[in-house]
Copies of this chain bind each other. A is one copy, B any other.
Amino acid sequence: MSNVILVKQLYRNTSDFTNKQVKISGWIRTLRASNAFGFIEVNDGSFFKNVQVVFDSSKISNFKEVSKLPISSSISVVGTLVETPDSKQPFEIQAENIVVEGLSDADYPLQKKRHTFEYLRTIAHLRPRSNAFSAVFRVRSVAAYAIHKFFQEQGFVYTHTPIITGSDCEGAGEMFRLTTLDLNNIPKTEDGKVDFKEDFFGKETNLTVSGQLNAECYALAFRNVYTFGPTFRAENSNTARHAAEFWMIEPEIAFADLIDDMNLAEAMLKYVINYVMKECPEELQFFNQFIDKGLLDRLNHVVNSDFGRVTYTDAVKMLKDSGKKFDYEVEWGIDLQTEHERYLTEEIFKKPVFVTDYPKDIKAFYMRLNEDAKTVAAADCLVPGIGEIIGGSQREERLDVLKARMQELNLNEEDYWWYLELRKYGGTKHAGFGLGFERLIMYITGMSNIRDVIPFPRTTGSSEF
């Protein structure tokens, strides 16, 4: 790395390097050359844009027929940076010496032409070298950092909640079981059942679907905490919005109610979008031009709007009154479908909106029961183009109310002894939410398939790479 300049530095501080000798290294994205003279577009991975290198072939130390240098070969270039105010690119490097570091085979699968995203998924090890995926995964990284920055600057404690869990605490969908038992020779108990005492943890274990219940323990010690880690759903669904493995952010705040929770969610979304707009303007410009024409307008609108807030009951009324024909009819008590959510946020509010106070029967047991005894203090954030992006709630802190609700749902108190103890030993009002990280990235980039915002996606039947 020594002495080598990153291309990002050349772009961000061009004048520091003008007419000076620089050394860069990177991969050939395009090459136009006669045998005497040519242009190479080099990308070094540090920046979305390429650098144009101008050369005559005598400058290449260790390769003869320059015009046959395959794209994706890695090279090092020493040359002079010259500003080119009349060209498309702001500067170029006039090569004095080019060394081929690693020659690419000519059958490189990512040739310079339009490829479908479906095809690129089959070469997930190479696709980050394409423009679109270089942009997606740089934005993903920057957005992840923005989330940490947002919470850490306010003193939130980042808490690593467990991935391996002995309890299906939420009953949230199918789980992956974990085992070290020999599946060809499963130990059985006397009554013929699987003997989990022989398994690694001495009991059944699964991959987590949410770190929330564990995060609550930490919120009641540190006041403000957040998780950011992988979560899993073994749902056999093959949609553009579901993956078996995805990352989730789950803040949890004590001495806080549903209003505080929504304020936090709104501030976080705006912070992350602002941060990505500031750090990745080239990438967002690319998405706006090639992936989703309205993207920049939409993002700008979001950071400058106050999010809407409406109760579920009022939202249902609005949907019914709209006259719009939905595939799935709207009635008080139903779980809102994506078509309803999108209509609310895209057509009625025309901006992100929190829907609050859902019927208790369609929400999880830990959500705080409202005075009406019919609804709970939940708040889902819906955004245009996606639908639900955040699901949050105030948590039930009243031990008796929580226990009664668990009984209604036939949940076993013993499985939740530690969760219940949080209410016994200095419980206080608290709230939190979950943000699906991939949904956020889809929202910020305009990418429409979750497989295209995860480096190596895991979905039904697919665990390649």
A180 at the interface (CB under 8 A from B): yes
Q: How far is the CA of A340 from the CA of B164 in the complex (A)?
A: 34
Report the minimum CB–CB distance from A160 to chain B (whole Å): 6
A158 at the interface (CB under 8 A from B): yes
Report the minimum CB–CB distance from A111 to chain B (whole Å): 11
Kindly specify which of A13-21, A193-201, A355-363, A369-377 makes contact with the partner chain.
A193-201
Q: Which of B161, B179, B458 contacts A164 (CB 8 A)?
A: B458
Q: How far is the CA of A421 from the CA of B108 in the complex (A)?
A: 9
Q: How far is the CA of A256 from the CA of B141 in the complex (A)?
A: 22
A217 at the interface (CB under 8 A from B): yes
Report the minimum CB–CB distance from A168 to chain B (whole Å): 13
Kindly specify which of A87-95, A247-255, A296-304, A403-411 makes contact with the partner chain.
A247-255
This chain: copies in complex: 2
Q: How far is the CA of A194 from the CA of B185 in the complex (A)?
A: 10
Given A186-B186, A194-B184, A463 contacting B166 (CB threshold 8 A): yes
Contacts of A332 in B (CB 8 A): none
Report the minimum CB–CB distance from A100 to chain B (whole Å): 10
Q: How far is the CA of A188 from the CA of B454 in the complex (A)?
A: 33
Q: How far is the CA of A159 from the CA of B141 in the complex (A)?
A: 7
Report the minimum CB–CB distance from A197 to chain B (whole Å): 10
Ranked 8 nearest A-B pairs via Cβ: A45-B223, A128-B221, A45-B222, A74-B428, A72-B426, A141-B158, A201-B463, A125-B418
**Which A residues fall within an 8 A CB radius of B?**
1-2, 4, 6, 8, 25-28, 44-46, 72-74, 76, 101-105, 108-110, 123-126, 128-129, 134, 137-138, 140-142, 144-145, 148, 152, 155-166, 174, 176-181, 183-184, 186, 193-194, 200-203, 205, 207, 214, 217-224, 229-230, 232, 234, 236, 244-245, 247, 253-256, 260, 397, 418-419, 421-429, 454-456, 458, 460-465
15 pairs, CB–CB < 8 Å, chain A vs chain B: A1-B255, A45-B224, A46-B222, A104-B424, A104-B425, A124-B217, A125-B217, A137-B222, A138-B157, A160-B454, A166-B463, A176-B179, A201-B462, A203-B463, A418-B465
